[in-house]
Structure 1
């Protein structure tokens, strides 16, 4: 009640509580002055809370907070120690808000300039090596995603039981994950990706050549291609993370993920467009995998190499990064 300005009602309640507890109160005029100071403190505390939570109306809240001055504190210091300490804290907050207010405009201007800078927006393509990494990773993500979902959604063209196909598909994906995990550490990321892209390209391009009487062979080729693509899908994340410098690694992954989602989106449309030619989808996916094989030739192996911290470190490389064993030598 004192905070919202109902001082007389508050005094009655306080007197009743004091009589009940047999406590002694100060004179009415001093008690009224204390309640007014409590009301003032409550207003200031509310403004500070609204300002810190972002619900204030902007500069109006700042002005309310900064309206407390040392003259007001001097008038109220004679009331009690608690009120004096409270207003001292408010003055400290006032000075902090004044400092923030004086410096916030420049800070926000600097942040806005950096956020809208083309260098920040196009970090993944503003230097030669980063352009190579970004283009190749986006291409490979697109190919892997398109082929993965194309093989998954193209069950109808194989004329097999869809339940059996899904069970086999899940099995080969599990095998692919285990194979990729065990071999990436010993053989390297690029070699395993190169191997998986090559196998997928070969089996998918060979699948249309199989006679219609050999349905089992067609299914085997598709499953081998699915296993290779699944393995590549898992490893390409690791490879991309190790290729991109630390300062723009998240941007590089985001660009690659956009390409990956684009591949997943166009996959069913390609299936629909080539529905009259069952062999055409395998040829398209096999040719895409071949393009992925060629694109990997421009990149380097990242196994046991030092990760680049900045784009400048990456651009300073004149050859593939040395492995940890070579660096120790």
Structure 2
């Protein structure tokens, strides 16, 4: 149940945020992941029996159950599925908490009605092509980033270092790249940030096999840089895909692509096991070439910086070009609440 809860929680947070805050909240959610990775190495060192370890690390999730009842449903999703009064109720509550004034109810209901009307003839030729392109590219990229991220986390045996120290370091090096992602994405945008992250990952991993065996520290440094940049790719691509896929199919789309990342995570240990004794350098080569493939695959997609989240498939024909002619909302505008 971990992947669905992570996925749905991430979508919910991103759907209620205005454009300039989506990258901030996306990064904050994944920084907690990095801290947990650091702590996990300590727990694993103290609790060697895997059943007790799994029980121990699962207990904190019980704290989340009562907290979930304090969270409202996504007003975007409610508007898309036709539950307009519930969406208005959520928006009013949010406006009251944030001490802001909403547009009149009739204006909000008119926008919701337009959005729902778009669902009738949503799958236009262009939007159909775009959603297929997004699905293919993102499933491939998520598979590769899952293989990179989890594979580099589990690569201690290939490098011949202490497993517990390696996992602790790998969790620690995830924090700096996630904290600097905010200014990077502000400067380069979502798409180029992901491409740059993949490209640097590919360069350092393809360089690592060329390092002499007596310079093991330098070899580990390069692997950790690869881990840092794959972390950047994983975090920024999660934000990027939520801004590409419309609300009406966002959960399904992210579910499919997240399954791709789990497939990559599934492949990684088998790949490492197959090469770690005979060709330990091959792990870096395969991971580096995979990062290059992911980098090139993103080229046909478009930038999503400072545009509002698409709500329907029909929005794909207009939102990525900069305006939404149906609702007359400018790209950097949201119903701020």
Same fold (TM over 0.5): yes
> Which ranges of structure 2 fall in alignment gaps of 5 or more residues?
1-120
TM-score normalized with structure 2 length = 0.56
Give the whole-Å Cα distance in 2 for the aligned partners of 1:290 and 1:211.
24
Give the whole-Å Cα distance in 2 for the aligned partners of 1:240 and 1:296.
11
Give the whole-Å Cα distance in 1 for the aligned partners of 2:331 and 2:199.
29
Give the whole-Å Cα distance in 2 for the aligned partners of 1:239 and 1:327.
16
Deviations 1:44-103 (A, max 9, x none): xxxxxxxxxxxxxxxxxxxxxxxxxxxxxxxxxxxxxxxxxxxxxxxxxxxxxxxxxxxx
Deviations 1:255-283 (A, max 9, x none): 11111111111111111222321011111
Deviations 1:8-35 (A, max 9, x none): xxxxxxxxxxxxxxxxxxxxxxxxxxxx
Give the whole-Å Cα distance in 2 for the aligned partners of 1:155 and 1:327.
45
Give the whole-Å Cα distance in 1 for the aligned partners of 2:251 and 2:186.
23
> Which ranges of structure 1 fall in alignment gaps of 5 or more residues?
1-118
Describe how 1:166-205 pairs up with structure 2 within 5 A.
166-205=167-206
Alpha-carbon shift at residue 135 of structure 1 (Å): 0.6
RMSD of aligned alpha carbons: 2.8
Alpha-carbon shift at residue 187 of structure 1 (Å): 3.0
The match for 1:154 is 155
Q: Give the one of 296, 305, 310 matched to 2:312.
A: 310
Alpha-carbon shift at residue 306 of structure 1 (Å): 2.9
Give the whole-Å Cα distance in 2 for the aligned partners of 1:182 and 1:165.
28
Alpha-carbon shift at residue 161 of structure 1 (Å): 2.8
| Contact 1:306–1:321 (CA under 8 A) maintained in structure 2 | no
Alpha-carbon shift at residue 213 of structure 1 (Å): 1.6
Give the whole-Å Cα distance in 2 for the aligned partners of 1:166 and 1:182.
27
Alpha-carbon shift at residue 168 of structure 1 (Å): 2.0
Give the whole-Å Cα distance in 2 for the aligned partners of 1:325 and 1:308.
12
| Contact 2:139–2:256 (CA under 8 A) maintained in structure 1 | yes
Larger relative CO (CA 8 A, sep 6+): 1 or 2? 2
| Greater radius of gyration (CA) | 1
The alpha-carbon distance between structure 1 residues 257 and 326, as it changes in their structure 2 partners (threshold 3 A), is closer
Give the whole-Å Cα distance in 2 for the aligned partners of 1:284 and 1:161.
23
Q: Which has the higher helix share?
A: 1
The match for 1:248 is 249
TM-score normalized with structure 1 length = 0.58
Give the whole-Å Cα distance in 2 for the aligned partners of 1:175 and 1:300.
27
Give the whole-Å Cα distance in 1 for the aligned partners of 2:139 and 2:274.
24
The reply on whether 1:226 has 2:227 as its aligned counterpart is yes
The match for 2:281 is 279
The alpha-carbon distance between structure 1 residues 241 and 226, as it changes in their structure 2 partners (threshold 3 A), is same
Give the whole-Å Cα distance in 1 for the aligned partners of 2:128 and 2:330.
29
The alpha-carbon distance between structure 1 residues 296 and 322, as it changes in their structure 2 partners (threshold 3 A), is farther
Give the whole-Å Cα distance in 2 for the aligned partners of 1:322 and 1:215.
52
